[in-house]
Amino acid sequence: MQRLAKIIQTKQQLLDLLESREEEMIEIRRHLHQHPELSFQEKETAEYIINFYKGKDVEIEKNVGNGYGIIVTIKGDRPGKTIGLRADFDALPIQEETDVPFKSKNDGVMHACGHDGHTAYMLILADCLIRLKTSIAGTIKIIHQHAEETPPGGAKSIVESGSLDDLDAVFGTHLSPQQPVGVVGYRSGYAMAGRSYFKLRIQGKGGHGASPHRANDSIVAGAYFVTAIQTIISRRLNPFEMGVVTIGSFDGKGSFNVIKDAVELEGDVRYMNDATKERIEEELQRMVKGIEVEFNVECELTYTPDYPPLYNDPTKTGEVVSILESANDPVITKLKELSPSPGSEDFSYYLQKTPGTFFFIGCRPEGVEKPYFNHHPKFDINEKALLVSAKSVAHVVCDCFQIE
């Protein structure tokens, strides 16, 4: 009974500490929002994070992976499991169009995906855990990750660094304006799509628009490819499989009466499992060979897999849902099972190595029925979601990992 009472008391201490520091979370988020930095360029943001931990009883590992990654290790007074908590901190090449007083000061760069909020809540949560570290049985590694937005991303290199080889579980969250504040979304199993990038250069034979028979028109070949490639999804995949192929760039600008010598196309592929990924790539390669024969052109295809599908461990996901459902925390109003998302996340690399789960925190701005989605120049969040994020992760830490 004494041990149970101690666990309850310490957990309440942590939750009370987080509530008392909500305004500080908001201040940090606004500071970061004003000073966004692009993937692999987050020097000042990383320095800000490191300075936050200076003088605290933790181990700080800097420049982890292929950029400015930071791992902060909080060691409890007693042995136990080792868990990882991740928050990303890069921004996007977007010109901000919001009206907030803490608008981005960096022209053409914006925190349009909520990573400023992820970092803000994680800093305060980590600091509160440091204050209570004598009650922790085990080790908590705070993963401040750079470059989530731009492949190859930061997660893969952090995993490959070996700094997280001792993790027993890993958890992450993402702010979601599609849900109101208080809603925590989850998905067991495949939750987010993997993605690949491709670039196709079609080399034809240029000529005069009046004499097409003397040329091999690369634009016609490219236009055929744009249409034909959609049959990979409609005629080569099982209708119950998720797959998307998008042509995002078609560089064929020239003169109105000149047959273009060469064109370049760039595209994006999404899939929910590795089998679908391999099938789409195989069919795309086959179709490119057909274009060469059909139009007598030469094709150069670059195909690069980026982030793998994100797979939430069913056991860990179930544990998180059970913990949050029984938390009876007034800031968590609803647990909601979400549909799989076609978006991608390099948190998937952590989950490939370590069981865990990635869940979503509602942040819809008050009074807004149709919020702007992530990556929009008018993207904004309800800052009350920061406390929801911090307390949700705190409940998981306390109940799963013997904080007493």
Catalytic residue among 88, 96, 148, 345: 148
- Residues β-bridged to residue 83: 140, 169
- Element at 302 (helix H, strand E): strand 298-305
Q: Catalytic site residue 90?
A: yes
pLDDT at 49 over 90: yes
Residues 8 and 139 in one domain: yes
CATH number of the domain at 106, please: 3.40.630.10
Tokens 């993997």: give the residue.
194
Which of 305, 331, 356 corresponds to the end of one domain?
305
pLDDT at 10 over 90: no
Residues 56 and 106 in one domain: yes
The answer to which of 105-119, 192-206, 346-360, 390-404 has the lowest mean pLDDT is 390-404
Calculate the average pLDDT of the chain.
95
Cis check: omega of the bond before 152, within 30 degrees of 0: yes
Residues 102 and 70 in one domain: yes
Catalytic residue among 22, 37, 90, 383: 90
Two tokens, residue 17: 């500490």
SS3 content of the chain, % helix, strand, coil (to 5): 35, 25, 35
CB contact burial 47-61 (16+ within 10 A = b; e otherwise): ebbeebbeeeebeee
Which has more confidence, 252 or 111? Answer: 111
pLDDT at 401 over 50: yes
Residues 40 and 125 in one domain: yes
Residues 282 and 362 in one domain: no
> Which residues touch 51 (CB under 8 Å, ≥6 apart)?
none
Give the confidence band of 2 by pLDDT, cuts at 50, 70, 90: low
> Could you read off the pLDDT of 65-83 as tens digits, one per residue?
999 999 999 999 889 999 9
Percent of the chain with pLDDT over 90: 94
Residues 48 and 144 in one domain: yes
Residues 167 and 203 in one domain: no
Cα distance between residue 309 and residue 85, in whole Å: 19
Which of 305, 337, 364 corresponds to the end of one domain?
305
Residues 166 and 222 in one domain: no
Tokens 């086959």: give the residue.
286
Three-state DSSP class for residue 280: helix
Residues 74 and 184 in one domain: yes
User: What does residue 174 show for φ and ψ, rounded to 5 degrees?
Assistant: -145, 135
pTM, entire model: 0.93
Which of 283, 305, 327 corresponds to the end of one domain?
305
Residues 372 and 270 in one domain: no
Do residues 45 and 89 touch, judged by C-beta distance below 8 A?
A: yes
Residues 209 and 166 in one domain: no
The count of structural domains within the chain is: 2
Cα 345 to its chain centre, rounded Å, is: 3
CATH number of the domain at 219, please: 3.30.70.360
Cα distance between residue 72 and residue 335, in whole Å: 30
| Domain span at 227 | 195-305
Residues 262 and 384 in one domain: no
pLDDT at 177 over 90: yes
